[in-house]
Structure 1
Amino acid sequence: MGALQPLLRRKLQRRGQQEPGYLHQVPQRFGVYDTPVKAGAVWVHAVSLGETRAAALLVHALRQHMPGMRLLLTHSTATGWAQGQALLQPGDVQAWLPWDTPEATRRFLQRHQPHCGVLMETEVWPSLVQACRIHGVPLFLANARLNDKSFHSAQRWSWLSGPAYRGLRGVLAQSNADAKRLRALGARVDAVLGNLKFDVQPQPVAQANAQRWRSQWSRLGQPRPVIMLASTREGEEALWLEALAANAARMQAFADAGVLWLLVPRHPQRFDEVHQQVVAKGCSVFRRSALPADGAWPAQATDAQVWLGDSLGEMPQYFHAADMALLGGSFMPLGGQNLIEAAAFGCPIIMGPHTFNFAEASEQAQSAGAAQRVADMDGALNQALAWLSDRAALAQAQQAGLDMVAQGRGAADRYAQEIVRQLSDSQVGGLSHGA
């Protein structure tokens, strides 16, 4: 890990050319911190955007159970950092988690001296876990998940993964299947508490903005159907464009219906590339970033065939604006994306065959009727056309998603209660009284 540090520096420089957030406080990546901090914060590590959204739900619940709690919030990606800024209150600190070397993790813990640490979902690093044990910092893995692919990989590296999982103070898993795999690696799984993301909150502002968009997209008083490609990964836009072009009759049916394609790539550094790719196929494209802040509405924003969602933090708005969504990451062998947020905002999902990163949520959504699984992009377009042709079935799928999420709520409070209980049992003092 130490020998790879020069490569990490070069990677940060390259990423920073497209996402300047990666150039912020680079020394922190190597355990060098110069911001003043107070000891005793509750440390939550949310690696990227999705984990930070889940962390927001947990942090809110922890503040309810631990009045006066100070937060140390760490990330590994620029999108996670940007999303996490909204969680900070006076006295809180935001920082990068350092590269996983013994020296860097030691400096991190000595500098911040947290009361405890909570890693979100999958982020288990050997040096970090060892450093926490040495410094007496109870370390939890919350909303923990582990798919089959990662499990078998960890088994192959058991000499490294075993001590890391055994070194955690406790693991709070999303599902029984996750718990079984984590225990097989040596983790102490204390409870299965469900998926935090079911506690996603209503977004009235996002819904209102989405309704304004939809009214502007209308043609001759008729609303345009909106089909979203949500969090697409490299290669999936090409699959979509090829599948559209391969069936002229189907493409004409989408055009006759006035469909607006809402294309939202997962990674910001790909926005320009995706824009060029779609334009090269002859599609008219409007970029969300070109929408004037004063509320003016350009004609091309209404007439475009494709809207490119090149913004951060607006996924709730995009889901509210869409009639349905094709799930990015599921049409290539990449494991899919979290679909609970889409269901919570009334947006049914069409997913490809690759959802191993979110297997339980995907199966649950399919069983509830909030999602349909297809074999490939061609099947996804057929399903989208079927829902457009059967509005009653589409409305049923929308309601199924809302019902599924309502039934799953309450996990955030369960996680917070269990963390507070374990800290109390281990006599980590003062957390519930203003740490």
Structure 2
Amino acid sequence: MPKFVYTLLMYLVALLLPLKLLWRGLKQPEYRQHVGERYGFYSQTAKAPLIWVHCVSVGETRATQPLIQALLKEYPQHQLLMTHGTPTGRETGLQLWQQEIASGRVLQAYLPVDTPGAAKRFLNHFNPVLGLLMETELWFHLIDQAKRRQIPVAILSARLSEKSARGYAKLGDLTRNGLQQLALVVAQTEADAQRLQALGASNVIVCGNLKFDVTPPADSAEKGAALRQLLGKDRTVCMAASTREGEEALILDAVQNSDILLLLVPRHPQRFAEVESLLKARALNYVLRTELAQPLNEDVQVVLGNSMGEMYAYYAASDFAVMGGSLQPLGGQNLIEAATMGVPTILGPNMFNFAQVTREAVAAKAAVQMADISELATQIDTLTRNAEKRKAMSEAAKEFALKHRGTTQRLMAAIEGLLRK
């Protein structure tokens, strides 16, 4: 794709963006806030050298937690700017860094649409000394404008599936030039590194997956135990974690003849009402997490996890989990959180966004992966009936998560090198 075609597409995106924000804002009013930032107009200003970290949504924001902690500690003379692409990502950042944001040590903003003008306004306004893009966010005008200003930009914890690599390859020189303008690319795995190098990245190193270094909130186990008291200690609790469109129905079909309690946690909060409508349509006896104040009656079949910020507590209250995003061809969701909490996990056949960690988790016997979705009911039944297997998988999951820690230290060493330059 020639760069001028990409530029025209970005201007079209900018032109249609208000309609998208208005539409999304019907279900999630936060989309109608801070609209000016989407075009590179900001009110808050930096008062110290600024390190900019971009984490588009909830998953990336949570994954940056150990890195942000390390940056705040190692560079006390700097401010940090966290940019996001979604309101839920921004809200997650606020929950994690409320005190630092209140004190001004951490700033938050939306990253603007990638037009030349918006990219210039963003960089002129904040003038960061370093830009860190989490996972694989390639914004070609922003990278180009940063290069012109001699602002080093790196991609950290980069992952690139074969499918995504094929998509970027179709952009030809646009992708190649963008990757070559980066000061550093830090890949999660050797396979990710090889795919990025094949696309044109030249300065690539491998540091592992930052998500392994995320520490659950200190009260996660306590909150999980309190939640489990409400769910019932004598019931087997299966958590459907971060489910996405079309997956809830598949899971409900798989457990319809089971006596387990299903803790159903949709990935996106704007779908809570949709999933509740599905439960009503199936005439299931369910309770909303936000209304759960007394121990459940035994006839309750489903608890709908419609709260925010409780994922670790949900895992701590569960006997095992089914991973959302993997039952449909959506690439899967983060299984590391489950492993960290020692929760045995059933993975669907579509974990291509987490291919390496999936292979390693299965090899470590921390998780099982289905070859086909038709196995779901059998896998759920096996773990429901076999407490010893759940216990063995739980121990394996904890050991697996602990073994892969240490990425933050390697990233900080790479960041130090960039700042020295």
Both structures adopt the same fold (TM-score exceeding 0.5): yes
Q: 2:143 maps to what in 1? A: 129
Measure how far apart 1:383 and its partner are: 1.1
Q: 1:199 maps to what in 2? A: 213
Among candidates 169, 186, 203, match of residue 200 of structure 2: 186
Among candidates 44, 53, 56, match of residue 53 of structure 2: 44
1:372 aligns with 2:368: yes
More displaced, 75-84 or 152-161? Answer: 152-161
Q: How does 1:231-380 map to 2 (within 5 A)?
A: 231-245=242-256, 251=257, 254-255=258-259, 259-291=260-292, 296-297=293-294, 303-380=299-376
Q: 2:167 maps to what in 1? A: 153
Aligned partners of 1:112, 1:404: CA distance in 2, in Å?
A: 40
Return the letter of the residue paired with 1:228.
Answer: M
Measure how far apart 1:39 and its partner are: 5.2
Measure how far apart 1:374 and its partner are: 0.8
Aligned partners of 2:368, 2:295: CA distance in 1, in Å?
A: 35
Return the letter of the residue paired with 2:380.
Answer: A
Measure how far apart 1:9 and its partner are: 1.2
Higher relative contact order (CA 8 A, sep 6+): 1
Q: How does 1:89-104 map to 2 (within 5 A)?
A: 89=100, 90-91=103-104, 92-104=106-118
Q: 1:26 maps to what in 2? A: 35
Q: 1:418 aligns to what SS in structure 2?
A: helix
Instruction: Summarize deviations over 1:163-198 as a string: whole Å, max 9, x none.
Output: 111111101111111111111111133421110111
Aligned partners of 1:149, 1:299: CA distance in 2, in Å?
A: 44
Q: 2:71 maps to what in 1? A: 62
Aligned partners of 2:325, 2:146: CA distance in 1, in Å?
A: 34
Among candidates 234, 255, 279, match of residue 223 of structure 1: 234
Aligned partners of 2:188, 2:296: CA distance in 1, in Å?
A: 46
> RMSD of aligned C-alpha atoms?
1.5
Q: 1:100 aligns to what SS in structure 2?
A: coil
Aligned partners of 1:289, 1:186: CA distance in 2, in Å?
A: 48
Identity %: 42
Moved beyond 6 Å, runs of 4+ = none
Measure how far apart 1:381 and its partner are: 2.1
Q: 1:28 aligns to what SS in structure 2?
A: helix
Aligned partners of 1:195, 1:213: CA distance in 2, in Å?
A: 30
Unaligned stretches of 5+ residues in structure 2: 1-9
Please, what TM-score do these two structures have when normalized by structure 1?
0.90
Measure how far apart 1:204 and its partner are: 3.4
Instruction: Summarize deviations over 1:294-334 as a string: whole Å, max 9, x none.
Output: xx42756x752101111221111111111111111111111
| 8 Å CA contact 1:174, 1:194 repeated in 2 | yes
| 8 Å CA contact 1:39, 1:112 repeated in 2 | no
| 8 Å CA contact 1:215, 1:223 repeated in 2 | no
Aligned partners of 1:299, 1:235: CA distance in 2, in Å?
A: 27
Q: 1:430 maps to what in 2? A: none
| 8 Å CA contact 2:227, 2:313 repeated in 1 | no
Measure how far apart 1:154 and its partner are: 0.8
Please, what TM-score do these two structures have when normalized by structure 2?
0.93
Q: 1:203 aligns to what SS in structure 2?
A: coil
Among candidates 409, 416, 421, match of residue 420 of structure 1: 416
Aligned partners of 1:48, 1:202: CA distance in 2, in Å?
A: 18
Count of residues paired in the alignment? 407
Q: 1:164 maps to what in 2? A: 178
Return the letter of the residue paired with 2:234.
Answer: P
1:71 aligns with 2:86: no
Instruction: Summarize deviations over 1:253-279 as a string: whole Å, max 9, x none.
Output: x22xxx110111111111100111122
Residue 202 to residue 3, structure 1, CA distance change in 2 (3 Å): closer
Aligned partners of 2:229, 2:274: CA distance in 1, in Å?
A: 29
Aligned partners of 1:201, 1:330: CA distance in 2, in Å?
A: 24
Residue 289 to residue 14, structure 1, CA distance change in 2 (3 Å): farther
